Chains A and B, each alone.
Chain A
Amino acid sequence: ETGVTQSPTHLIKTRGQQVTLRCSSQSGHNTVSWYQQALGQGPQFIFQYYREEENGRGNFPPRFSGLQFPNYSSELNVNALELDDSALYLCASSPDKNTEAFFGQGTRLTVV
């Protein structure tokens, strides 16, 4: 139990649609990072938010966007879904930028 919860746990969307995934961080954790984990691979860094501002981004196109809110929750938005976006999406929160990160259980997104 890491205190980080993600919703929904599973989701099926159609190619071209938009999706919003949500993460509730531990209270007091100012940093949240989002990762994409394809089947059989390690997580890939999407972006990080610190105190509601983007603080680093991986090699993902602009249709992947995020928000972090003052109540320690955050969102990952993906527009114009593609089949290759099917993956487990993980959020991880930490008290500060370079401290231990605690992962949620992930959202399994399937694009058909």
Chain B
Amino acid sequence: TQLLEQSPQFLSIQEGENLTVYCNSSSVFSSLQWYRQEPGEGPVLLVTVVTGGEVKKLKRLTFQFGDARKDSSLHITAAQPGDTGLYLCAGEAIFGNEKLTFGTGTRLTIIP
């Protein structure tokens, strides 16, 4: 079973600050996805990265896939209260029966 470790587990920062969330594994993934989940709802897909070294931007969010396709990062610039939520990375396995392996999650709180 592939494991995805996210750090930090909890993060609370002031509005306007920048932050980075990390997602690390010893396994190689064919693709990696980032989701945001709000209380009482299912995860919502933010982005999918498939190529080692790939960088994708979604407004103030920047996603990077590691060169070896084992790790990824999410950087948020000028955080806003609406960014508050649980951020999950999920890797799609190359081999095996498990489809999406989710990370442990980072709970982000932006203080107005």
Binding site for B on A (CB under 8 A): 2, 4, 33, 35, 40-45, 48, 56-59, 90, 92, 98, 100-106
Cα distance, A59 to B97, chains bound together (Å): 10
Q: Is the CB of A45 within 8 A of B100?
A: yes
Cα distance, A90 to B100, chains bound together (Å): 13
Q: Is the CB of B105 within 8 A of A42?
A: yes
Cα distance, A44 to B41, chains bound together (Å): 16
CB distance from B37 to the nearest CB of A (A): 8
Q: Given A2-B42, A59-B1, A105-B42, does the pair A43, B98 have CB atoms closer than 8 Å?
A: no
CB distance from B23 to the nearest CB of A (A): 10
Q: Is the CB of B42 within 8 A of A45?
A: no
Besides the known contacts A45-B99, A104-B42, 11 further A-B residue pairs in the complex with CB atoms under 8 A apart: A2-B42, A41-B105, A42-B104, A43-B100, A43-B102, A44-B102, A58-B97, A59-B1, A101-B45, A101-B100, A106-B41
CB distance from B71 to the nearest CB of A (A): 16
Give the interface SS of chain A, mostly helix, strand, loop or mixed: loop
- B1 and chain A: residue at smallest CB distance: A59
Q: Is the CB of A58 within 8 A of B41?
A: no
Please provide the 5 A-B residue pairs with the shortest distance between their CB atoms, ordered closest to farther: A103-B42, A42-B102, A56-B97, A43-B102, A42-B105
Chain B stretch 33-88: residues in CB contact (< 8 A) with chain A: 40-45, 48, 88
List 9 interface pairs A-B (beta carbons < 8 Å), by A numbering. A4-B42, A35-B100, A42-B102, A48-B99, A56-B97, A58-B97, A58-B98, A59-B1, A90-B42
CB distance from A44 to the nearest CB of B (A): 7
CB distance from B92 to the nearest CB of A (A): 7
Among B41, B88, B92, the most chain A Cβ lie within 10 Å of the Cβ of B41
Q: Is the CB of B44 within 8 A of A45?
A: no
- A33 and chain B: residue at smallest CB distance: B99
- B10 and chain A: residue at smallest CB distance: A40
B24 at the interface (CB under 8 A from A): no
Q: Given A42-B88, A59-B1, does the pair A105, B100 have CB atoms closer than 8 Å?
A: no
